[in-house]
Amino acid sequence: MFNNVNNQKIALHNLGCKVNGYEMDVMSQRLKEAGAVIVPFSEKADIYIINTCTVTNIADRKSRQMLHKAKKENPEAVVVAVGCYVETGIDGVKKDDSIDLAVGNNKKGEIVDILNEFLAARNADVTDKTLGGASIIDINHTNEYESMFLSELPEHTRAYIKIQDGCNQFCSYCVIPYARGRVRSRQEQEILAEIKGLVQKGCKEVVLTGIHVGSYGLDFDTKEPQLISLIEHINEIAGIRRIRLSSIEPRIMTEENVKRLSMVDKLCPHFHLSLQSGCDSVLKRMNRHYTAAEYRQSVDILRKYFDRPAITTDVIVGFPGETPEEFEECRKFCEDISFYEMHVFKYSPRKGTVAAGMKDQLTDRQKSERSDVLLHMTGTQSESYRNSFIGEKLEILWEDEEEIKGRRYMTGHSDRYVKVAVPLDSPFAAGAVTGEITTVVPTGFLNSDTLLI
């Protein structure tokens, strides 16, 4: 048996959101710095770390499955459950024989010390799964932002930058505030320093992410969100080419804020405004804090200040009590807004939420029928939006080589996140190098979601 992580083979697997992805990147970085050897999850390892998700009951099940898979792969390995599933299901975690160690949120940055302490204690035969509670805090009663710092670029082209944690919204279908706690924001100077370091490593684009990005700075002394100011300061960093936002709520897109954003020349005109429903009565049951009319106003303001902004969204169909009339109201609203893309989710009851106990739960068939309607709509709308850029000059950040229909292509995305491909054997492929940005003119569609040069 070993006493610390040095020279140990460690496999990591991430489930869930981009925030989890950022935290996994930091954990991997710190383990490497401590001498660990990071191996693919498919390989036999000494330690398996699963960064879990708990957003739905299905996510819980997937988390358990990956933990059990790891223990089955190597029964002698240390299997570590990390993150949101630990926070909401600790009683089950403690009873699960496949799990050797549990690490909650706001403790991921201490993964090396926690593992080393666990391994030393295991050899002395005095361990328990939670190190006496030292690796799980009361996430719902902390105002401390966990310090994490990414010094290496996980991808060749863009980096996800975590700027805040926690949520104060308490939507009736969501358990995340209980898994992540209240809003806690990262200090601006630390964010700027991290981005500057990644730019020196070749990063061209940053994506600002968090659990509730629009609340950034709400916990500072100003008591006002500071997201716009942060973006303006990132824009001043030499070498950064693009700033992109992850999911945000529509209420932050006021006339004043959008006008300021329109003057940030590196900001990508791509806005993922979370909708969930276009029907006011459903929004009220969801405990969303805006109306469909207010959402529409935010979209109108964005389209006033930006040329063809890519507006994407999430929509939940089949929420408890959703009548055919309410769904039709939502469908018509989505049709009128004409999103670039809609991510359509069939409502899934999450144990522990208000919505899970609501009356009039819909059948799977009803949810599927409604989902199919919106999926067909978003396919048509997305094609129309992409089509509007054919024949125009687009700046593409090149990312990956892909084989499509037996031919090799270099693919990348525009600032509006429109995917473009160029054949590697084409004369137009000159300059299409991973991590570089070049100007191209797409001539048509390669397939339903990709433009062709």
pLDDT exceeds cutoff 90 at 137? no
- Give the span between the Cα atoms of 317 and 315, in whole angstroms: 6
CA distance 310 to 306: 9
244-265: burial string, b at 16+ Cβ within 10 Å, e else: bbbbbbbbbbeeebbebbbeee
How far apart (Å, rounded) are the C-alpha atoms in residues 12 and 282?
39
Per-residue HEC secondary structure of 52-119 comes to: ECCCCHHHHHHHHHHHHHHHHHCCCCEEEEEEHHHHHCHHHHHHCCCCCEEECCCCHHHHHHHHHHHH
| Per-residue model confidence (pLDDT) at position 132 | 44
pLDDT tens, residue by residue, 409-438: 999 999 999 999 999 999 989 889 999 999
Q: What is the pLDDT of residue 1?
A: 61
Calculate mean pLDDT across residues 106-134. 77
pLDDT in tens, 220-239: 977 677 999 999 999 999 99
Segment 342-399, tens digit of pLDDT: 999 999 999 999 999 999 999 999 999 999 999 999 999 999 999 999 999 999 999 9
pLDDT at 134 over 60: no
The pLDDT, as a whole number, for residue 300 is 98
- pLDDT one-digit tens code per residue, 44-67: 999 999 999 999 989 999 999 999
pLDDT at residue 129 in the model: 60
Q: What is the pLDDT of residue 223?
A: 67
**What is the per-residue pLDDT for 133?**
46
Neighbours of 75 (CB within 10 A): 9
| CB-CB contact of 362 with 327 (8 Å) | no
